[in-house]
A and B are shown apart, each in its own frame.
Chain A
Amino acid sequence: MKFFRAAVTEVIGLFVGDWAQTAVSVGILGIGWFVLSRVHVNGIAFVIGIALAAQIVYATTFEARQRARHS
């Protein structure tokens, strides 16, 4: 049972480190899907990549600030 629980935790942990950050990433993809279904321009999907990249810059700098405050 312990092993099974560890395996489940490991699987969830593959995709989710911080639930808020995961929600933001999924939200960006959702908005991207909405926009892509209406705007048919070749290469517009790069905007999704840029938004996700901006999200990771924000999330990592935010976490670094939090850790610095608590140490």
Chain B
Amino acid sequence: MYAQLLTFGAAFLGSAVESVEALTIVLAVGLTRGWRSPLYGAAVALALLAVLVLVFGQLIVTRVPELTLKLIIGTLIVLFGLRWLHKAILRSAGVIAMHDENKSYEDTVKELHGNLLRQDWVAFTISLKGVFLEGMEVVFIVVAVGGTSGSGGLPVAVAGGLLAMVVIAILGVVVRRPLAQVPENTLKYAVGVILASIGTFWAAEGMGATWPLDLVSVLGLAAIYFGASRVAVVMIRRRSAVMA
């Protein structure tokens, strides 16, 4: 139960962050050039992503031995989580700018105005490319988290990812503008901590380690990563204050 909640939560949060970014692109194209082509583009991208989840999900679950799977996927999840956490720390400390959905929206609109002649094809391609590339991270999170969390993990992860996409899509239809109010950095920060913790847990299990209290140890790892990230933010801010 605890493992399935963790799987669902990680897939939901990771998917929500990327869905906001994909939605910004589709909204920019749809509101500028009409809805037909960008919606086709988004639909094709979603179909491609679904195929990737099915193919890789099934391959991973049925073909790879459990310990090998935990070691390889755990290592990849650690690298992926640390990358998100790294960016989130730098954003929290003010070293790099927060992700701005309004700016992404305006950039896409500008790009579209420069290509007025090839209207529908451009709208279709930009939407497809945006949704597909943003969705790759969702595919990885869903397959990795779902594939390694035992039997029944993949459907739970897929459900988490799909629910997040539906929620964000509904919000987008209601609001009809970029979801700039979604605390994207906070979400990425949380997912970074969760993924780095789960990844470390599984990678070590794949190496043959045992954890005290089994999956509850993930909370201990999350505390370590969160504590370290706060230390990093404080150190960077202090140094900036001294230099100012």
Residues of A within 8 A of B (CB): 3, 6-7, 10-11, 14-17, 21-22, 25-26, 29, 32-33, 36-37, 42-46, 48-50, 52-57, 59-61, 63-65, 67-68
A10 touches B208 (CB 8 A): no
5 tightest Cβ-Cβ pairs between the two chains A and B: A53-B228, A45-B204, A45-B209, A15-B79, A64-B236
Q: Which residues of B contact A46 (CB under 8 A)?
A: 217, 220-221, 224
Q: Which residues of A contact B85 (CB under 8 A)?
A: 56
Listed by A's residue number, 26 A-B pairs whose Cβ atoms lie within 8 Å are A3-B129, A6-B133, A10-B133, A14-B137, A14-B140, A15-B80, A16-B79, A17-B86, A29-B75, A29-B78, A33-B207, A36-B204, A42-B210, A42-B211, A43-B210, A45-B209, A46-B221, A52-B200, A53-B228, A56-B86, A56-B228, A60-B89, A60-B90, A61-B232, A61-B239, A64-B93
Chain B residue at smallest Cβ distance from A59: B86
Q: How far is the CB of B114 from chain A (nearest CB, A)?
A: 17
Q: How far is the CB of B122 from chain A (nearest CB, A)?
A: 13
Residues of B within 8 A of A (CB): 75-76, 78-80, 82-83, 85-87, 89-90, 93, 95-96, 129, 132-133, 136-137, 140, 196-197, 200, 203-204, 207-212, 217, 220-221, 224-225, 227-229, 231-232, 235-236, 239-240, 243
The prevalent SS among residues of A at the interface is helix
B89 touches A52 (CB 8 A): no
A61 touches B235 (CB 8 A): yes
A56 touches B232 (CB 8 A): yes
B209 touches A52 (CB 8 A): no
Q: Which residues of A contact B76 (CB under 8 A)?
A: 15
B86 touches A14 (CB 8 A): no
CA A21 to CA B8, docked complex, whole Å: 29
